Amino acid sequence: MVEKYKFISNSLSMIVNRLVQSIATFVLTAAIARNLGAEAIGQYLLAYSYYFIFVGIASQGLKILFTRELAREPQKTSVYLMSGTWLQLIFSLVSYGGLVIVVFLLPYSSKTSTLCYIMGLTIIPFALSNVTEAIFQAKEKMHLIAIATVPVYVLRLIIMIWAMQLKYGIEYLGVILFCSETLILVIEWILIRQFVKIEWQIDKDFVWNTIKAARTFFAIEAIAVVSNRIEILILSLLGNEFLVGLFGAIIQLLQPFSIIANSITIAMFPRLSKLVDQGREKQQQMTESFIEVLLTMGLPLFLGLLFFGKDLLTFIYGSSFAQGSLALSISAISLILLPFTRTLCSLLVANHFEIVNLREVVITTILGSLGGVALVSQHELVGAAIMALLMTILAFSQYVYFTYTLLFPLNLWRVIRRPIIISTLMVLVFLILKKITLDFLFTLIIATSFYILFVIFLTIHTLGGIHIVKEKIVKIKMKF
């Protein structure tokens, strides 16, 4: 029971962390749109994309490897902290150098290039904090990540909005981002010293063995982060910063769900790694449960964007962004597939099938990029949305195929039954709201309220009724 509540606590901590980050990014994007315009959003998101790509190359491979290995060998935490941090510093410096070279060689304006250079510096503190966060995750102390990051995210948003109100340029937002990530790194080191003994020496054998062990993870993450931002990069080269701004606004509307999905799978990963030795039946049960949970959120959200996507774009960013409604509807289809891809990706890595993930990102990125160049050159914004959807379908197909062939088949009816019930009820709500003329904010509140009520009702019904739920709550209270 303690393990179960620890998992819930960790999941909630990661969701809060990612959700606050998502909301902060969401509000910031809207603030830039209203204060500086779509072109400024395009410049900021393009610079952020290069930062995201190169920090992913520098750090995500090590983070996944450290989390998996420390979940099994917690006695090596001190070695991972110091030697891993040193190794991460080298990789982050090399990665920043790569960012500077790439941006310098591409035909961007001097203002856009300068913003990329400034924001790219954030690679260093962010990459170093990934080592401490891997330790927090492996030890299932994810609440410490939330403690270190959530207040800083809020403070960063306030300062950025204040800077825009004072008419500071877009490059100052890059400076604020760098300072905030440095502050997070300092806080996490203060927290980690409470339960990890610092050994001020570098284990050369560990460093060398880690480089060899992480090669596959680095390759996976390097291609994956490029794949995640390839639409923006192609739009920036074949289009302009204005189109990047429109597409970035669409991506931001889908980002909250993606962050929740990532948070849940991150919290799930250490436990899933431990279940590998306990048989595939337990892994299957856990995998199907998490796909179901994510699909319960993703499917109704997709339907809601089909009904009210244009209104949402206008409400948040302004009337000039309404032209992105078709692209938003196309991109939103991915919300149905992401629950499968996120969960099955973690499942395969936990079972040491990371080569499958490498194969998937290579195939998806190559085919998606080739198709994307043709689509974006012909259809611009809509082409980028179709490209993103095709890449999601490619990833989904491969993950499902390899899960079936290497591990076990999924019980699809069990996975989709409850999400379909809730989504059907939500369609009725959407149809009624569409016929009623209400302020969009009230429409959003009503739809969200009905969704929460439907989820609560179905959960109580699944658990056996209100009386059974009350009995379980009483038993839990008695144990504490």
**What is the per-residue pLDDT across 101-111, written as a single tens digit (0 to 9) for each?**
999 998 888 88
Nearest in space to 125 (alpha carbons), one of 175, 80, 163: 175
248-290 residue pLDDT tens: 888 878 877 887 787 777 777 777 777 777 778 888 888 888 8
Q: Is 471's pLDDT higher than 60?
A: no
Supply the pLDDT for residue 480. 46
* Phi, psi angles (nearest 5°) of residue 376: -70, -40
Structure tokens at 244: 């990047």
Question: So what's the pLDDT on residue 296?
Answer: 92
Does residue 148 carry a pLDDT above 60?
A: yes
φ and ψ at residue 229, rounded to 5 degrees: -115, 10
What pLDDT, on the 0 to 100 scale, is given for residue 469?
Answer: 46
Residue with tokens 């040491």: 352
The answer to whether residue 303 scores a pLDDT higher than 50 is: yes
Query: What pTM, to 2 d.p., does this model score?
Result: 0.71
In a domain, 168, yes or no: yes
Q: How many residues would you count in the chain?
A: 480
Taking only the tens place, the pLDDT of each residue in 182-202 is 999 999 898 888 877 777 777
Q: How far apart are CA 257 and CA 65, in angstroms?
A: 25
- Asked if residue 439 belongs to a domain, the reply is no
Q: Is 324:317 a contact under the CB 8 Å cutoff?
A: no
Greater model confidence, 270 or 356:
356
Q: What percent of the chain has pLDDT over 90?
A: 25
31 contacts: CB under 8 Å, gap ≥ 6: 160, 161, 164
Q: Give per-residue pLDDT as tens, 414-431.
A: 899 999 999 999 999 999
Coil, strand, or helix at residue 464?
coil
Collapsed DSSP state (helix, strand, coil) of residue 453: helix
What is the CA 448 to chain-centroid distance, rounded?
Answer: 22
Q: Which segment of 119-123, 134-138, 167-171 scores lowest on mean pLDDT?
A: 134-138
pLDDT at 221: 67
In angstroms, rounded to a whole number, what is the distance separating the alpha carbons of residues 479 and 476?
Answer: 5
C-beta of residue 65 within 8 angstroms of C-beta of residue 183: no
What is the band of 2 on the pLDDT scale with cuts at 50, 70, 90? very low
Write out pLDDT tens, residues 17-27.
Answer: 777 877 888 78
Find the largest Cα–Cα distance for the chain: 68
Please indicate, yes or no, if residue 35 is contained in any of the structural domains.
Answer: yes
- The C-alpha angle 282, 287, 289, rounded to 5 degrees, equals 100
Is 403 a member of any domain?
no
pLDDT at 164 over 80: yes
Q: How far is CA 227 from CA 62, 69, 166, in A?
A: 19, 26, 36
Mean pLDDT, to the nearest integer, of 74-84? 76
Q: Provide, for the chain, the percentages of residues in helix, strand and coil under a 3-state DSSP scheme, each rounded to the nearest 5.
A: 90, 0, 10
For residue range 221-252, what is the model confidence (pLDDT) as tens digits?
667 777 777 788 888 888 777 888 888 888 87
Assess if residue 377 is contained within a domain: no
- pLDDT recorded at residue 333: 94
Distance CA 391, CA 371 (A): 9
Q: Is residue 198 part of a domain?
A: yes
Kindly state whether residue 468 falls inside one of the protein's structural domains.
Answer: no
**pLDDT tens for each residue of 385-411:** 999 899 999 999 999 999 999 888 998
Query: What gap in Å lies between CA 253 and CA 245, rounded to an integer?
Result: 13
Count of domains in the chain? 1
Q: Which domain holds residue 134?
A: 1-213
Q: What is the pLDDT of residue 462?
A: 62
Residue 11: predicted pLDDT: 62
Decide if 388 is inside a domain.
no
Q: What is the pLDDT of residues 429-451, one digit of tens each?
A: 999 998 887 888 899 899 999 99
Over range 283-309, report the average pLDDT.
90
